[in-house]
Amino acid sequence: MSSPSIGTRPKTTENVRAGKASQPDTRNLDSYVNKIRTDFESRLGHMVEIPTVSMDPAHKADITRGADAAVELLRACGATSAEAVPTSGNPVVVGEFKTGNPAHPTITIYNHMDVQPAQEPEWKQEPFKFRKDGDRYFGRGSTDDKGPGITALFAARYAADNRIPLNIRFVWEFEEEIGSPHFEEFLKKKLPSLATDSVLVSDTIWLSASKPAIPYGLRGLQPARLVLRTGGKDAHSGLTGGAARNPIGELAQVISKLYDARTGKVFIPGFYKDVVKPTATEIKSFKASGFNVKSFQAAHELHSLRTTNPLDVMVRIWASPTLEVHGIVGGYTGPGVKTVVPPFAEAKVSMRLVPKQDPSKAFALLKKAVKAINKDVEVHEESGLVPYDGPFTGPYADAAREAVQFGFGTTPAFIREGGSIGAVVTMQKHLKAPIMCIGLSLPEHGYHAPNENYDWGQARGGIRTFVHYFSKVAGMR
Amino acid sequence: MSSPSIGTRPKTTENVRAGKASQPDTRNLDSYVNKIRTDFESRLGHMVEIPTVSMDPAHKADITRGADAAVELLRACGATSAEAVPTSGNPVVVGEFKTGNPAHPTITIYNHMDVQPAQEPEWKQEPFKFRKDGDRYFGRGSTDDKGPGITALFAARYAADNRIPLNIRFVWEFEEEIGSPHFEEFLKKKLPSLATDSVLVSDTIWLSASKPAIPYGLRGLQPARLVLRTGGKDAHSGLTGGAARNPIGELAQVISKLYDARTGKVFIPGFYKDVVKPTATEIKSFKASGFNVKSFQAAHELHSLRTTNPLDVMVRIWASPTLEVHGIVGGYTGPGVKTVVPPFAEAKVSMRLVPKQDPSKAFALLKKAVKAINKDVEVHEESGLVPYDGPFTGPYADAAREAVQFGFGTTPAFIREGGSIGAVVTMQKHLKAPIMCIGLSLPEHGYHAPNENYDWGQARGGIRTFVHYFSKVAGMR
């Protein structure tokens, strides 16, 4: 297997064309990384300060602004072309670094540039104000997923400057956080022009700050809203209590009949039917992953867990389905106790799904179960995500392992991950190319959490990792 | 039984001293009522626009401003003295209309000038902007309880102007909506100077717009906050879900083990033990009250009820204890579904209590039951209210019946009421005087609800009612 020539040696069209490659020259790469740091930070800061919250319609204009800025950013970093592709929902930004030689293989790098809302009271700063504190970068979206995306972009810039014989295509989505409802529409629309030899996704999280992870499986997701309206306005619980229905009480009853929150066991009939349990090989690899319960708890600030057995925790978060309640709307939430009977309540729930579970089927089971408990509760479907089950052996896995070793000086664990990236499954279906998930985020970066951050150590190692990976896959066709 | 002389006839010290009374001269009273309308509206508007929200510490300065304005108001309407009496909590405003003759009986009129919060999204106007729409007055506190309080004040002004031989004392509380935590302290402190022959409370609600009610019983109240903290920040449900505890799910489980929200049946061991069921006489009087399920539902905008049997509804709202959930704090409540595992949840609950149930005992039972279900849930006690059980026969009841008949041209029903007024029980204990609850609010005025309002018809009839009642009780000693 050949790999491209990069480094300080004079580059010629000849040795690029020959597809000849060696290990990247670290001195040159390191000086590049040091040189671009200020530029990297200012580009990241600019993107973080655009509040591209896809979940909130109030941020529609920010999404447009974010997509324009993303096109600008790609061009500024040397993309040979960049455009925002409109869909029925938010646009998808596509940027290309073409070598000019169609014989060179193509890699597609997926990231998303939309972010979670940031209304948590625990934020110690304006969430959409970029703040640099030493090597650490704070702000919503810094690690999920703007930081890793821009890290990959700076790696691509190096690859282009150093003529790595690889066509690099960026696909930046703006609807990942709402389940990628129009990503398939985008893929179908642009399909012939999106042909690729492999896909790299950088939107996943390490096991810990010292243990990189390459997830080969992702859980699926099916969110839903359970809504119960029993009145037109807040009623006085003295004047009506006893006769009036209480929608929060009734939803609490529904929830507690859907699952046992203490153990996590889901009571929805048929829920576990299609679940494929992890194989013995996988369990062995989980055990060897270096997963540590204490570090996991510390990173996510979980005071206690449903279980502290390490394997049980891993199987629960990577390979088991869940039901979760994310919030209950309706009723009084200010200081003290206001004795109202609220007129309606909405529970925001979701199910994480594992291979062979189907989101639509899971929703149908949920709806049936809810209606059997309380027929007045409306069950609203939100965009679902199919679980992902990918390869963890073969040349791309080997290249990824070597690249991480080169970038960070330590080997990654091949694990499953508990999160969901809808686009991954859609790309698997339409692009029919191997997908590798090389994430750069750390548990303590706070995905979806207040005071989200990213750091220079991960960006620096990330650029090194991706450059090495590019040099490897440039030779695979 | 003598009653005082009032009306257009020239008043002399003699006929006042004689305690001689007749029916009030309606022409004079009606012309008074018409004359003061503009003044009444501007005074009510001024008080409504001071957001005296006792539940929210952020409104502390407004409470002080409200107490100052109340003292002003009493003086402006002819009180011979008025002062704000400080307590360890909010002040209590006392205003006196003294005849100068200590031989005249004294009536104490209780109202409260604090209000509920007004954060409901359904408000069609600024809640603390007074708005007059024809005969209707909108704004938080307009009916609960500033409107009825100021109505009584204008009746007192008439009584003073027309020399009804009755000393009238106003006691205006500013902590009623948080369970009157310092009202007993106030009563004890000022006790000798608060000696009274009877008490009039105007903070209750009619059965319907055409059926006045005089409640002789009120439910007690014991609110509590159930708090569960399982983490330090929002966690990502993909990365942690399955292993992480879910505090909303666990509180939902606790709630559904405390009561059946569908039927209202409370499962807390010992909860119903001390309940005194309504007597056969009371049930007969409930049945004769004219209570109408459809009007009740319409007034409170309740789309459906736990039962539609009229007697069952009355017994439930007037004479049965409840458990209620008022709101759940914690988790995501914005648009869509944000898939977080929240770090904590708080359920705001309360129990309405009926005669012989004790708030402290009910709290102890609740706490024990919660701890038995989930020992990690903290159970925080809020200020409780003892149920009230008063007389519904005797001279004051007769006077009240006649007064309402005079004021509104229809007889009131003697019923129990489902709401709670903590001060009533405290006054019963310390003032040892008969208490009559002559309320002016209508179900459609929206106690504790968005778009709260009061109206001129109730104010006008209220002044007539109170003047008549004063003339009656002036003769009772």
Chosen domain end from B356, B381, B406: B381
Q: What is the DSSP string of A158-197?
A: HHHHTT-S-EEEEEEES-GGGT-TTHHHHHHHHGGGG--S
Q: For residue A21, name the pLDDT band (cuts at 50, 70, 90).
A: very low
Contact B337 A243 (CB under 8 A): no
Residues in chain B closer than 8 A to A366 (CB atoms): none
Is residue A437 within 8 A of residue A229, CB to CB? The reply is: no
| Partner-chain residue, chosen from B243, B349, B449, that has the shortest CB–CB distance to A234 | B449
With 90 as the cut, is the pLDDT of residue B427 above it?
yes
Residue B405 CB-density burial (10 A; 0-12 exposed, 13-18 middle, 19+ buried): middle
Query: Averaged over B29-45, what is the pLDDT?
Result: 97
Q: What pLDDT sits at residue B241? A: 97
Q: What pLDDT sits at residue B144? A: 96
Q: For residue B5, name the pLDDT band (cuts at 50, 70, 90).
A: very low
Is residue B377 within 8 A of residue B283, CB to CB? The reply is: no
| Partner-chain residue, chosen from A250, A322, A336, that has the shortest CB–CB distance to B382 | A336
Q: ipTM of the assembly?
A: 0.82
Asked whether residue B50 is assigned to any structural domain, the reply reads yes
Top pLDDT among B7 and B23 is at B23
Q: For residue A18, name the pLDDT band (cuts at 50, 70, 90).
A: very low
| Partner-chain residue, chosen from A178, A234, A262, that has the shortest CB–CB distance to B253 | A262
Contact A300 B242 (CB under 8 A): no
Percent of chain B at pLDDT exceeding 70:
95
Q: For residue B285, name the pLDDT band (cuts at 50, 70, 90).
A: confident
Chosen domain end from A381, A400, A433: A381
Size of interface A-B (CB pairs under 8 A): 364
With 60 as the cut, is the pLDDT of residue B19 above it?
no
Residues in chain A closer than 8 A to B447 (CB atoms): 236, 239
Residues A245 and A128 in one domain: no
With 90 as the cut, is the pLDDT of residue A390 above it?
no
The candidate with the shortest Cα–Cα distance to A426, out of A400, A393, A397, A387, is A387
Minimum mean pLDDT range among A388-392, B10-14, B110-114, B358-362: B10-14
Chosen domain end from B312, B347, B381: B381
Q: What pLDDT sits at residue B17? A: 35
Residues in chain B closer than 8 A to A230 (CB atoms): 302-304
Q: What pLDDT sits at residue B24? A: 59
Pairing of strands A167-173, A92-97: antiparallel
Is residue B339 within 8 A of residue A350, CB to CB? The reply is: yes
Contact A250 B237 (CB under 8 A): no
Asked whether residue B62 is assigned to any structural domain, the reply reads yes
Residues B212 and B237 in one domain: no
C-alpha A466/C-alpha A472 separation (Å) is 10
Residue A85 CB-density burial (10 A; 0-12 exposed, 13-18 middle, 19+ buried): middle
C-alpha B251/C-alpha A376 separation (Å) is 22
Residues A206 and A61 in one domain: yes
With 90 as the cut, is the pLDDT of residue A455 above it?
yes
Residues B361 and B398 in one domain: no
Cα of A57 to nearest chain B Cα, Å? 8
Contact B239 A205 (CB under 8 A): yes
Residues A348 and A464 in one domain: no
Contact B257 A256 (CB under 8 A): yes
Residue of B nearest to A345 (CA): B327
Residues A56 and A177 in one domain: yes
Asked whether residue B180 is assigned to any structural domain, the reply reads yes
Is residue A137 within 8 A of residue A453, CB to CB? The reply is: yes
Pairing of strands B167-173, B106-112: parallel
Q: For residue A9, name the pLDDT band (cuts at 50, 70, 90).
A: very low
Q: In what order do the strands lie in the sheet containing B322-329?
A: B322-329, B344-353, B220-229, B378-381
Residues A365 and A456 in one domain: no
Contact A331 B324 (CB under 8 A): no
C-alpha A366/C-alpha A351 separation (Å) is 9
Cα of B467 to nearest chain A Cα, Å? 28
Residue of B nearest to A250 (CA): B261
Residue B139 DSSP symbol = S
Neighbours of A398 (CB within 10 A): 12
Neighbours of A356 (CB within 10 A): 12
Contact B221 A205 (CB under 8 A): no
Query: Averaged over B218-238, what is the pLDDT?
Result: 95
What residue type is assigned to position A147 of the chain? G
Q: What pLDDT sits at residue B391? A: 82
Cα of B381 to nearest chain A Cα, Å? 10
Tell me the pLDDT tens digit for each residue of A99-133.
999 999 999 999 999 999 998 888 999 999 999 99
Q: What pLDDT sits at residue B468? A: 97
Residue of A nearest to B343 (CA): A302
Residue of B nearest to A306 (CA): B243
Residues B70 and B134 in one domain: yes
Asked whether residue A53 is assigned to any structural domain, the reply reads yes
Residues B356 and B397 in one domain: no
Residue of A nearest to B257 (CA): A253
**What are the structure tokens assigned to A149, written together?**
């995306």
| Partner-chain residue, chosen from B233, B261, B326, that has the shortest CB–CB distance to A449 | B233
pTM above 0.90, yes or no: no
Residue A147 CB-density burial (10 A; 0-12 exposed, 13-18 middle, 19+ buried): buried
With 90 as the cut, is the pLDDT of residue B432 above it?
yes
Residues A205 and A154 in one domain: yes
Q: Which run of H or E residues covers position A367?
A: helix A359-373
Kindly tell me the sign of the dihedral angle through the C-alpha atoms of A186, A190, A191, A197: negative
Contact A338 B116 (CB under 8 A): yes
What is the residue range of A85's domain?
A: 13-218+388-473
**What are the structure tokens assigned to A201, written together?**
């996704």
Is residue A205 within 8 A of residue A443, CB to CB? The reply is: yes
Mean confidence (pLDDT) of chain B: 92
With 60 as the cut, is the pLDDT of residue B365 above it?
yes
Q: What pLDDT sits at residue B18? A: 37
Neighbours of A477 (CB within 10 A): 15
What is the number of alpha carbons within 13 Å of residue A251 lying toward its C-beta?
Answer: 34
Is residue B174 within 8 A of residue B92, CB to CB? The reply is: yes
Phi, psi of A89 (to 5 degrees): -110, -130
Residue A144 DSSP symbol = I
Is residue B227 within 8 A of residue B378, CB to CB? The reply is: yes
Q: What is the CATH number of the domain that holds B224?
A: 3.30.70.360
Q: Which range, A5-14, A378-387, A437-446, B368-377, has the best average confidence (pLDDT)?
A: B368-377
Q: What pLDDT sits at residue A25? A: 64
Q: What is the DSSP string of B71-85?
A: HHHHHHTT-SEEEEE
The candidate with the shortest Cα–Cα distance to A368, out of A258, A259, A272, A265, is A258
Contact A324 B249 (CB under 8 A): yes
Count of structural domains within chain A: 2
Asked whether residue B367 is assigned to any structural domain, the reply reads yes
**What are the structure tokens assigned to A99, written together?**
């070598």
Report the alpha-carbon angle A344-A55-A368, nearest 5.
50
Contact A342 B327 (CB under 8 A): yes
Residue of A nearest to B338 (CA): A326
Asked whether residue B214 is assigned to any structural domain, the reply reads yes
**What are the structure tokens assigned to A146, written together?**
């703007």
Query: Averaged over A304-328, what is the pLDDT?
Result: 97
Residue A93 DSSP symbol = E
Residues B79 and B128 in one domain: yes
With 50 as the cut, is the pLDDT of residue A191 above it?
yes
Asked whether residue B422 is assigned to any structural domain, the reply reads yes
Residue of B nearest to A343 (CA): B302
Contact A239 B300 (CB under 8 A): yes
Cα of A53 to nearest chain B Cα, Å? 11
Q: What is the CATH number of the domain that holds A123?
A: 3.40.630.10
The candidate with the shortest Cα–Cα distance to A157, out of A407, A392, A401, A470, is A470
| Partner-chain residue, chosen from A221, A246, A447, that has the shortest CB–CB distance to B325 | A246
Residues B100 and B248 in one domain: no
Q: What pLDDT sits at residue A407? A: 97
Q: What pLDDT sits at residue B16? A: 36
Asked whether residue A243 is assigned to any structural domain, the reply reads yes
